[in-house]
Amino acid sequence: MLRKVLVVLAIGGMAIASTACNTVRGVGQDLESAANSVDRAT
């Protein structure tokens, strides 16, 4: 039962993430932004 819930949550998270950045360019920008945030935090 717990495994099924985790699978559903994982699939839902991936669906939300994929709609947040619809293009490859958007994915690249998201990754660059995350990397910049990590650089500023350290």
Domain around 18: 2-41
Give the per-residue pLDDT at 6. 87
How many distinct structural domains can be found in the chain? 1
CB 21 within 8 Å of CB 29 = yes
Q: What is this structure's pTM?
A: 0.44
Q: What are the backbone dihedrals phi and psi of residue 12, each rounded to the nearest 5 degrees, phi first?
A: -60, -40
**Is the pLDDT at 21 greater than 60, yes or no?**
no
Give the per-residue pLDDT at 39. 82
Give the per-residue pLDDT at 27. 76
Give the per-residue pLDDT at 37. 87
Nearest to 17 by CA among 5, 30, 32: 30
Give the per-residue pLDDT at 19. 66
* DSSP 8-state class, residue 22: -
**Is the pLDDT at 16 greater than 80, yes or no?**
no
CB 21 within 8 Å of CB 30 = yes
Is the pLDDT higher at 20 or at 9? 9
